[in-house]
Amino acid sequence: MKTILVSLLGLAASLLAGCAEPCNGHIEGTVLYFAESPTHQGQLVYANVLNKPDLGVQHTLMREGKEYGTFGHIVIIQDPQNKFKGRRSVCFDEFKTLPQPTNAKLDEPDIPWIEVTK
């Protein structure tokens, strides 16, 4: 019985690992949520950077008038082609910093906007 349980747990772990998207980059961010781009072209990815803490800033995010949470290293990734849609993490090597758009949310003035280039 014990060996069957161990085998089933091993199988479940391998299936879950197979469902995770590959990390193709040295900078990794956990996706918190997606929002529509202010230009209505693509989406914005709100991510908490895990292994490059100097990239993001600590910020308390609000969604629909309610506090979503405070995270340590938030960035907003501009994703005009929706290439990160549905992902739980975003991995990349190169990016460029973007100026904050004039129609961005007023309660997020300190969050860096970036575009992934590689």
Report how many domains make up the chain: 1
Per-residue pLDDT for 1 more than 70?
no
Say what the pLDDT of residue 49 is: 95
**Is 112 contained in some domain?**
yes
Angle value at C-alpha 13, between 7 and 19, nearest 5 degrees:
140
Write down the mean pLDDT value for the chain.
80
pLDDT at residue 40, as a whole number: 79
8 A C-beta contact, residue 37 and residue 80 = yes
CB 72 within 8 A of CB 30: no
Q: Give the model's pLDDT for residue 11.
A: 39
Choice between 79 and 102, residue whose per-residue pLDDT is larger = 79
Tokens of 47: 């991510």
6 to each of 16, 77, 79, 83, 99, how far by Cα in Å? 15, 41, 42, 37, 52
Q: Is 50 inside a domain boundary?
A: yes
Q: Is pLDDT above 50 for 39?
A: yes
What pLDDT digit, counting tens, does each position of 83-101 carry?
A: 999 899 999 999 999 988 7
Q: CB under 8 Å to 73, separation ≥6 — which residues?
A: 48, 49, 50, 52, 53, 55, 56, 57, 58
Residue 83 lies in a domain: yes
- 56-82: per-residue pLDDT in tens? 999 999 888 889 899 999 999 999 999
- Residue 83 structural domain: 24-116
Cα separation, 118 vs 108, in Å, equals: 25
pLDDT at 22: 64
